Amino acid sequence: MDSFDQEFSAVEVVGVPNSDQTPHVIGHVSDADSFRVQIKFGFESLEVWEVIFVGVDGIRILDEGDLCSFWGRSKPRGWLWQIESGGWRDLEQRRGDYLSGDSGYTEYLLGGLDECVGVFAFDPPTVRKFEG
């Protein structure tokens, strides 16, 4: 397979807490139609946040080092992005057997300290304090 050279473009999802910090992913849970990611900001923090994706069509969790080629020279501001081009979806659409490419979902990426979480979802994510 030839190299993937599509330009990466992402916009920060606005209205998320601590957009100037990078979260630590501490857990995730999925069911038939939703995916929840628990995060915290700072290892000493007791405050846990939850990012909820509904209408999920795909989930991918990778070490952040495996995504360095997507960032180019610098990472966009924030920690939760809507991917416009050059992300996981564009990479998958290069495969001849990928059937979900035009299904109407949006690609999101949550950039964590150790893990990055990619999600294909039909609805925008909700971010709230975790009440567990």
Residue pLDDT, tens place only, 1-26:
455 566 778 889 988 999 899 999 99
Residue 65: strand, helix, or coil: helix
Domain membership flag for residue 40: yes
Q: For residue 1, tell me if it sits in a domain.
A: no
Number of domains making up the chain: 1
Q: Is the pTM of this model over 0.95?
A: no
Q: Look at residue 4 and tell me if it is in a domain.
A: no
Query: Does a structural domain hold residue 63?
Result: yes
> Which domain covers residue 125, as residue numbers?
9-129
Distance CA(85)–CA(127), nearest Å, equals 23
Question: Alpha carbon of 36 to those of 6, 55, 87, 97: distances in Å?
Answer: 29, 12, 21, 28
Residue 36 belongs to some domain of the structure = yes
Residue type (1 letter), 118: G
**Is residue 94 domain-resident?**
yes
Q: Is residue 19 part of a domain?
A: yes
Q: What is the mean pLDDT of residues 32-37?
A: 90
